[in-house]
Chain A
């Protein structure tokens, strides 16, 4: 099968690389010449475990191409995937102008091709996260250019459920594949290209386009609700002296609840959850429905980002001047260099505004952080270097290498053996045996005060 991917951001790149890995001919298009040049030259701009290996292999075997010329990208293709950015507008709604503009460009090229007799049936598959009804608008745009739905083209919605840090694995072995499509012809072709990914019985769920679009928002918003719920329970645990680790195990073993995704922390961040929750809320509002739980989720999450800061000002007082604070972790979660809406960045800005000096380390997100925070903070070469003369350590991302550090070495380096752990990486009892004061989320405090 010949596949075109429009957009070489995170989703587009993973999708392209993984389809090529299954033997398809894949052309990835981006309007950014620089990006295309880099990708043709062997440079990937995102960090994702396993991506580099299959990218190199498929480049070498000639199944993966990059271009900035749309006409070149689509003439011989069977399927066009749209993997385009849909950022939040100021009111929280999703900005789909890029999706619509690309659809118009496609429509124009398709209809020209049709006039020249150089055209065959294509499926336009939207992978971008878009409000309900967007597939229908794409279809309208194509029809406006004289193209016939079902004959010249079909439109499908195929939301992605990739987790940053596990994206290749998620694409190769998905929990499920959702395809929103009404045309039996398109359904058959899409099932064919996805069949290699569902050999272990994980389902391909075919539904109408609107439900597929809704599924993406509903899933991400529900996951945000889980995080928000356990954060509120953790806050309550702190007040009543219960331990959230036991509570989430006790709850999660109920099969209607499930143990996954019940980790308290510093609030959710990243490029998906905050954006998608806002977008669904705004979509609900536009359709005349007040989605109360989503508004609550956003409120709690805003407060949750300040919990660690509160713990620190309780300890040090409001003025953090003359304090040197080490921060481990800058990415919004482990195994990614993505710092968009990262709780760590939010905390750092607050600490700096209160006068603290920050020295930060992250295994992958130092560069992306420098672009954001520049000289506002200092950067350490490794996790231990960050600790020299530090008054306290904050753990803000759950990287594996932070889980079992050399506590004795840490204690020697720091002025004050004090840890604020926003990710609950250590057992309170064990860490206090090493002589640390330790504050985490929803668990007993280990304090000398």
Chain B
């Protein structure tokens, strides 16, 4: 059992806090936003993540997990402090370190005894060193401390599982003492043969960026293959399957679609570009991946125009708004980017999503939101599938066809079978699969 303080109750902080409490530690989660702490203490969650609510309730009732506004006291009572505060992108892609540095100052003021400070926020390379300097300079007590970089690799929608069954744990530190304490905390995961990667702080910081940038490259690559499949008549599904069986390629993350979104990939990839440019390197491949991703939104709208040539004044039903299933996060969601283009073209946009309607409405007030997918499709000139929610995988197609003004579907997630859709009488277009239209 360790006394742990988690600074920042966003997505990563809450998942980390709840999971570390579940592993038997005494965890105090703090936030400078008193409103957030109040919500959490009322038993509510500011974010949607499967399984998180139960995990929190359970650990709060066992008194292993608490939420507090008392940042100083919580730091003083803890041996290990995780920093998981926000690191928003500045306009130019540079990571804003204001909150991280603020957290370091608070730790310095309350450094009453030896502490390990673990940074989980995604920060530019060199931030770990910066934290050390701040704490050293501002600490009145001059007590010993160590800084560790421990990037998170949680996927929204499966974050609990990712925390409890990680592919790997990266621990960046120069201190054996700190490494020992962190491996003790993650010990239960070591028993399930998770690889622990011990490296320097700088290298750990870069691993996070490199991983997300690589995954972005993988997505943009298969999207470009899909675009050529569209032009040549090959089928991206079989191409991706056959490619993925090559042991050097790995079949995961080879799904063609409208491009990536969310709060991590776009931000991290821009962060990496910025980092490289500061060091006089032009990261050509990563920049190409970004360009392709931006263009991919337009490729989807072009598909729609094949079915509905003049978009002005037409009604388009959008099914799925979250940037991926099992989350209510709409940040940089392809659905929202496409909706913006449709609104510019003069369309009326009706939308349905199981959990992300409120967030989408906040971002784009012009969206007409519906609690029921069939209502959203009523009289629409085409439907577009934008998120692969399970409930969208087996829609009642007969009912859908009756509701729609015209039997047009653009399936940006390739969740339907082109042959079957043709049999059902739909004009159906998907991504990188042979074009099939109803006669």
A residues at B contact (CB < 8 Å): 132-133, 161, 175-176, 178, 202-203, 205, 207-208, 210-215, 218-219, 221-223, 225-226, 228-229, 232-233, 235-237, 239-243, 246-247, 249-251, 253-258, 260-261, 280, 283-284, 287-289, 291-297, 299-300
Contacts and interface: CB of A to CB of B under 8 A. Distances in A.
Contacts of B249: 219, 222-223, 226, 258, 261
A175 B211 CA distance: 25
Given A232-B284, A243-B199, A247-B207, A256 B232 contact: no
B285 A205 contact: no
B321 to A, nearest CB: 24
B361 interface: no
Contact of B234 (A210, A247, A250, A292): A210
A210 to B, nearest CB: 4
Best-surrounded residue of B200, B240, B248, B272 (most CB of chain A within 10 A): B248
Contact of A260 (B197, B240, B247): B247
A250 B170 contact: yes
B243 A218 contact: yes
Given A203-B245, A254-B167, A243 B232 contact: no
Return the 9 tightest CB-CB contacts between A and B, nearest first: A250-B207, A258-B250, A253-B168, A287-B231, A239-B279, A296-B288, A176-B245, A214-B234, A246-B199
B245 A284 contact: no
Contacts of A299: 284
B210 interface: yes
B439 interface: no
A291 B242 CA distance: 21
Nearest to B290: A292
B211 A293 contact: no
B232 A205 contact: no
B283 to A, nearest CB: 5
Contact of A289 (B202, B231, B247): B231
Interface stretch (B53-61, B212-220, B260-268, B407-415): B212-220
A232 B206 contact: no
Contacts, number: 209
A202 B245 CA distance: 9
B139 to A, nearest CB: 26
Nearest to B197: A250
Nearest to B235: A211
What DSSP secondary structure best describes chain B's contact surface? helix
Given A132-B232, A247-B207, 17 more contacts: A175-B245, A176-B242, A210-B235, A211-B229, A211-B238, A214-B225, A218-B243, A222-B249, A243-B199, A243-B200, A254-B211, A256-B252, A258-B249, A292-B224, A293-B217, A293-B285, A297-B285
Nearest to A254: B167
B197 A229 contact: no
Contact of A205 (B200, B211, B241, B287): B241
Nearest to B229: A214
Interface of B: 125-126, 153, 167-168, 170, 195, 197, 199-200, 202-207, 210-211, 213-215, 217-218, 220-221, 224-225, 227-229, 231-235, 238-243, 245-250, 252-253, 272, 275-276, 279-281, 283-289, 291-292
B232 A233 contact: no
Nearest to A213: B234
Given A207-B242, A225-B217, A243-B203, A295 B233 contact: no
Contact of A246 (B197, B234, B253, B275): B197
A250 B202 CA distance: 13
Contacts of A256: 215, 218, 250, 252-253
Contacts of A176: 242, 245-246
B338 to A, nearest CB: 20
18 contacts: A205-B242, A211-B234, A218-B243, A221-B221, A222-B243, A225-B221, A232-B276, A233-B206, A235-B281, A239-B280, A240-B126, A249-B195, A250-B203, A253-B195, A256-B252, A258-B247, A260-B247, A292-B288
A252 B200 CA distance: 17
A300 B284 contact: yes
Given A207-B235, A210-B232, A293-B220, A239 B281 contact: yes
A122 B288 CA distance: 45
Contact of B243 (A219, A237, A260, A293): A219
Contacts of A221: 221
Contact of B275 (A175, A236, A257): A236
B233 A132 contact: yes
Contacts of B167: 253-255
Contacts of B197: 246, 249-250, 253
Given A208-B234, A239-B281, A253-B197, A295 B248 contact: no
Contacts of B231: 284, 287-289
Contacts of A214: 225, 228-229, 232, 234, 239
A347 to B, nearest CB: 21
A251 B214 CA distance: 8
B174 to A, nearest CB: 12
